[in-house]
Structure 1
Amino acid sequence: MRAIGPALAGLYDETPTVVLGPVSRGSLVGSLTATAVGVGFVEMRKDARSSYDSDRWVRRTTGPDYRDRHEVFGFRQGLIAPGDHVLMVDDWADTGMTARTARELVEDCGAHWIGAACIVDGLTDPRLRHDLPLRALLDVRQL
């Protein structure tokens, strides 16, 4: 487990100021990555509603995921600020919709999107590797 955070952070030359991870496994590997780099971590929650607290939230709805669902992701406004350099970290990429939504949320905050780092790349659309960009430790065909 100790090696996962540094390995994910090492997929990009650019150093993040914030690591973003979607619930639930993205929160685990994201916090390991943030700790390895020595920066803050922001959890991107599913079904994010401002009714959780009085703070304002930044929210976006995904395109269809691997189960053809549309999820609402978000986090409290102000956790990612203009000028931040954000790396999203997750365990697996399948359709790329979570990473695409994360990028939109980061851009909504006026921050710089570095890319998405995953343990396993199972992207169904290979163009997303370049568009997002997305880098991974393993390709699904290696499993």
Structure 2
Amino acid sequence: MPGIRDDLQRAFRWRGDRTDESFGADVTGWWRDAAILARIGPSLAALFPDGAPTVVMGPQSRGSLLGVLAATALGVGFAEVRKDPSRFVDSDAWWETTTGPDYRDRHLRLGIRRALLRAGDRVLFVDDWVDTGAQLEACRRLVDDSGATWVGAAVVVDALQRPDLRRNLRVRSLLHVRDLP
């Protein structure tokens, strides 16, 4: 029986020509494959066997999908990081920060409700892909601001160019970008 890495590689596609502005990764095959869905959350959780997270954090939208799967495998809750968060009422308290430039050279405003991250929490970050690390660094700031402890980042694909970020943010992945077909 093939492993999760083999299945992820098989279901992945690059779309467009590498010289096209619209060239990009297509991970939607992962969501269509029930075998991948059944194993991807536990596989991400297993990247930190001694991490003992009390909550999983992930950015909307793919980080939310994968984060919920990893949180379920770990038996802990999930805290969604929102892009451009907005308060419903004045008393709706958030931790907020702005990212450095992402892979599209955008600066995103990220936030998480204060009630979802608390001092004493041990936070595992989950997402599908890390490229510049801008969202990852911003999420680490949110964890630090809340008084919680950063366990690390479990991602499906590591495309980081900076080894210092990989080390400092404790990034572990199921695949490296060079493993993709």
Same fold (TM over 0.5): yes
Cα deviation, residue 124, structure 1 = 1.9
Unaligned runs of 5+ in 1: none
2:18 maps to none
**Corresponding residue for residue 52 of structure 2:** 15
Letter in 1 for 2:57: L
- Under a length normalisation based on structure 1, what TM-score does the superposition of the two structures give? 0.96
Question: Could you say which residue in structure 2 is the equivalent of 1:45?
Answer: 82
**Count of aligned pairs:** 142
Note the aligned Cα RMSD (angstroms). Answer: 0.9
Q: Does 1:24 align with 2:61?
A: yes
Match of 2:95 among 58, 62, 66: 58
TM-score (normalizing by structure 2): 0.76
For the residue of structure 1 that corresponds to 2:174, the secondary structure is: strand
Residue aligning to 1:141? 178
Question: How far is the alpha carbon of 1:49 from its aligned partner?
Answer: 2.5
Q: Which runs of 5+ in 2 are unaligned?
A: 1-36
Which structure has the larger Rg over C-alpha atoms?
2
Counterparts of 1:60 and 1:48, CA distance in 2 = 10
Taking only the aligned residue pairs, the percentage that are identical comes to 56
Query: 1:4 aligns to what?
Result: 40
Helix, strand or coil for the counterpart of 1:58?
Answer: strand
State which of 145, 164, 176 in structure 2 corresponds to 1:127.
Answer: 164
Task: Give, in whole Å, the separation in 2 of the partners of 1:84 and 1:69.
Answer: 30
Runs ≥4 in structure 1, deviation > 4 angstroms?
none
Comparing both chains, which one has the higher relative contact order based on Cα–Cα distances under 8 Å and sequence gaps of 6 or more?
A: 1
Equivalent residue, structure 1, for 2:15: none
Per-residue displacement from partner, 1:79-98 (whole Å, max 9, x unpaired)? 11100000000000000111
